[in-house]
């Protein structure tokens, strides 16, 4: 089990590290609370993060957006340490421990330390919806692309835990990859530029934020900006839509997939990755009905199986694949279809 500590206070961070190193078998890692460090630190680590300890000893501006960002980036639960005065909604992903900061000189320190350890243990042992069992027959665990299939556009949707998978996919695609990719990842708008910069550093392809009425260029990866839905127009250009959230999110995968189904039909490929809820599931089924190739991420490789599960229940998937096979499928496609016209 891997625990990350995020704290503005070096004293609190060191104390937490010592507590868990001495009294648990968890692997402990320390993160600076400054946002710009999170992407870089996350890229360096080659393991799954199981829990974040978030020190709330000091006031955090935009705490709700920051927690949403952390959940989507790391795909794990968060334990807030300190009095919850900022009215953050407690959920299956966010928990609190109010007896913080701990004072080693206080008479009840040992008792509160044990309470913290017990709280962490209970959270880590509690199963989330990523463990929900599902048995659906039909979709293949492999995908063979016929030479007659002409893919002009790839559309990808992701939510919780998606950044790690997107990084893996985009960094594996060669510079010769010719099919443009449009992507919706649920991340608050204030973090989008950092997210795109982070992906760009590891990708041989150009990763950029989608722009309104811009051309869709070969060999480019476009990311939907925050607070706008991304769609494609009948003229095969990108359009940013300022409309109400869909499935409580904006941008929404559903908006993108629906427009791709209507404009590109059988010449598209849709991929629905890890995430909570059902955003994009029905629209992936629409893409499939229009003749597109549709892929959902396998349960075992998901941080959360919500969106892929919803798509499977609708019969929306041509194939169910882990990220490694998704990568190989995309590379196989571009080998058979050179160039974007």
Cβ contact 195:36 at 8 Å: no
50 is catalytic: no
Position 142 scores a pLDDT of 57
301 is catalytic: no
Per-chain mean pLDDT for the chain: 88
Q: In the sheet where 181-185 sits, what is the strand order?
A: 206-209, 220-223, 181-185, 153-158, 268-272, 293-297, 319-321
Please check the confidence at residue 76 and state whether its pLDDT lies above 50.
yes
Q: CA-CA distances (angstroms) from residue 301 to 3, 61, 112, 274, 341?
A: 19, 33, 36, 8, 34
Q: CA-CA distances (angstroms) from residue 195 to 70, 115, 148, 214, 284?
A: 12, 36, 36, 20, 25
Cβ contact 310:332 at 8 Å: no
pLDDT > 70 in the chain, percent: 86
pLDDT tens digits for 275-295?
999 999 999 999 999 999 999
Mean pLDDT value of segment 309-331 = 95
Predicted confidence band at 66 (pLDDT cuts at 50, 70, 90)? confident
Please check the confidence at residue 233 and state whether its pLDDT lies above 80.
yes
pLDDT tens digits for 175-232?
999 999 999 999 999 999 999 999 999 999 999 999 999 999 999 999 999 899 999 9
The domains located in the chain, with CATH, are 2-126 (3.40.50.2300), 153-336 (3.40.50.180)
- The kind and range of the H/E element at 287 are helix 281-289
Position 131 scores a pLDDT of 42
In sequence order, what are the beta bridge partners of 297? 321
Please check the confidence at residue 34 and state whether its pLDDT lies above 60.
no
| Given 55, 186, 259, 298, the catalytic residue | 186
Position 339 scores a pLDDT of 40
| Given 229, 279, 298, 301, the catalytic residue | 279
| Given 7, 55, 159, 298, the catalytic residue | 159
E-strand ranges in 114-249 read: 153-158, 181-185, 206-209, 220-223, 229-232, 238-241
Cβ contact 277:285 at 8 Å: no
Position 254 scores a pLDDT of 98
Please check the confidence at residue 262 and state whether its pLDDT lies above 80.
yes
pLDDT tens digits for 78-97?
999 987 666 677 778 999 99
186 is catalytic: yes
d(CA 333, CA 150): 8
Position 47 scores a pLDDT of 64
Which segment, 6-15, 42-51, 111-120, 190-199, is predicted with the most confidence on average? 111-120
Position 317 scores a pLDDT of 95
d(CA 156, CA 187): 14
Cβ contact 88:80 at 8 Å: yes
What SS3 class is residue 259?
helix
Position 108 scores a pLDDT of 95
Cβ contact 57:100 at 8 Å: yes
pLDDT > 90 in the chain, percent: 70
Position 41 scores a pLDDT of 61
Q: Which two tokens stand for residue 238?
A: 């990108």
Q: CA-CA distances (angstroms) from residue 245 to 52, 138, 210, 321?
A: 28, 32, 18, 29
Please check the confidence at residue 140 and state whether its pLDDT lies above 60.
no
Position 134 scores a pLDDT of 42
How many Cβ atoms are within 10 Å of 29's Cβ, its own excluded? Answer: 17
Mean pLDDT value of segment 51-70 = 85
Cβ contact 290:318 at 8 Å: no
DSSP secondary-structure letter at 121? H
Predicted confidence band at 329 (pLDDT cuts at 50, 70, 90)? very high
Please check the confidence at residue 161 and state whether its pLDDT lies above 70.
yes
E-strand ranges in the chain read: 2-7, 27-32, 51-55, 77-81, 94-97, 153-158, 181-185, 206-209, 220-223, 229-232, 238-241, 268-272, 293-297, 319-321
d(CA 270, CA 285): 10
Please check the confidence at residue 40 and state whether its pLDDT lies above 70.
no
């Amino acid at each position: 089990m891997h625990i990350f500590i995020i704290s503005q206070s070096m004293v609190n961070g060191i104390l937490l590290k010592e507590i868990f190193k001495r009294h648990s078998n968890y692997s402990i890692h320390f993160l600076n609370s400054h946002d710009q460090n999170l992407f870089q630190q996350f890229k360096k680590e080659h393991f799954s993060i199981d829990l974040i300890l978030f020190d709330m000893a000091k006031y955090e501006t935009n705490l709700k957006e920051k927690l949403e960002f952390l959940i989507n980036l790391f795909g794990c639960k968060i334990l807030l340490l300190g009095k919850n005065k900022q009215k953050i909604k407690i959920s299956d992903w966010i928990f609190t421990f109010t007896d913080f900061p701990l004072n080693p000189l206080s008479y009840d320190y040992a008792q509160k330390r044990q309470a913290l350890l017990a709280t962490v243990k209970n959270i880590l042992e509690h199963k989330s919806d990523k463990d929900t069992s599902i048995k659906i027959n039909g979709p293949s665990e492999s995908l063979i692309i016929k030479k007659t299939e002409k893919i002009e556009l790839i559309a990808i949707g992701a939510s919780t835990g998606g950044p790690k998978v997107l990084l893996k996919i985009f960094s594996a695609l060669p510079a010769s990859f010719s099919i443009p990719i449009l992507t919706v990842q649920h991340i608050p708008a204030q973090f989008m530029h950092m997210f795109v910069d982070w992906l760009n550093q590891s990708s041989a392809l150009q990763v950029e934020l989608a722009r309104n009425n811009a051309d869709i260029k070969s060999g480019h990866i476009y990311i939907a900006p925050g607070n706008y839905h991304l769609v494609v127009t009948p003229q095969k250009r990108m359009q940013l839509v300022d409309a109400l959230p869909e499935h409580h999110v904006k941008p929404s995968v559903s908006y993108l997939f629906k427009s791709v189904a209507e404009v590109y039909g059988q010449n598209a490929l849709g991929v629905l990755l890890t995430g909570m809820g059902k955003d994009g599931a029905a629209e992936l089924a629409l893409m499939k009905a229009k003749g597109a190739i549709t892929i959902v991420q396998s349960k075992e490789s998901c941080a959360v199986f919500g969106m892929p599960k919803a798509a499977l229940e609708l019969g929306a998937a041509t194939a169910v694949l882990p990220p490694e096979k998704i990568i190989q499928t995309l590379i196989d496609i571009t080998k058979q279809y050179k160039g974007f016209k």
